[in-house]
Amino acid sequence: MMRGRVDGGGREATLPLTVIGRSGVRAEVEATVDTGFTGSMCLPLDVVQSLSVPFVGQGVAVLADGSTVETSYHRARVLWHGREIAVQVLVTEGGPLVGMTLLRGSVLTVAVSPGGEVTVEEA
């Protein structure tokens, strides 16, 4: 089971995750759970560059407000339910996000209050 917390304002559920790049380089990130994001994961450019993750391609992403942005896609690995799995990462200007594709096959529970517990279990 993976555990995280709801932020102090009670607005964002976050999970600590280990992202793995080329040559086993690792980065610890605090990722916001975004159930409106249909992809796997978003990471800021500086994290993607520090991990030297392979470039996959360019594309257009539709944001929550309906606007579109050009972004790049990369391939990384993440520790998920105790195993390393491959994920597609979108480069974004915001902080790390976990989306529904990564959450697929999991049970997400959030105690929605400041400091509330976030758990992700295999379904």
Please report, for the chain, the start and end positions of each structural domain, with discontinuous segments joined by +: 2-122
Hey, which bits of the chain come out as E strands? Answer: 2-6, 13-20, 26-33, 41-44, 55-62, 68-80, 83-92, 97-98, 106-110, 117-122
Task: List beta partners, residue 29.
Answer: 17
What is the mean predicted confidence (pLDDT) over 107-113? Answer: 98
> 55-69: per-residue pLDDT in tens?
999 999 888 788 888
Instruction: Tell me what pLDDT residue 66 has.
Output: 86
- Residue-wise DSSP of 49-62: HHHTPPEEEEEEEE
CATH superfamily of 2-122: Acid Proteases (2.40.70.10)
**pTM confidence score:** 0.92
Asked if 123 contacts 58 with a C-beta cutoff of 8 angstroms, the reply is no
13 and 99 Cβ atoms separated by less than 8 Å: no
In this prediction, residue 73 carries a pLDDT of 96
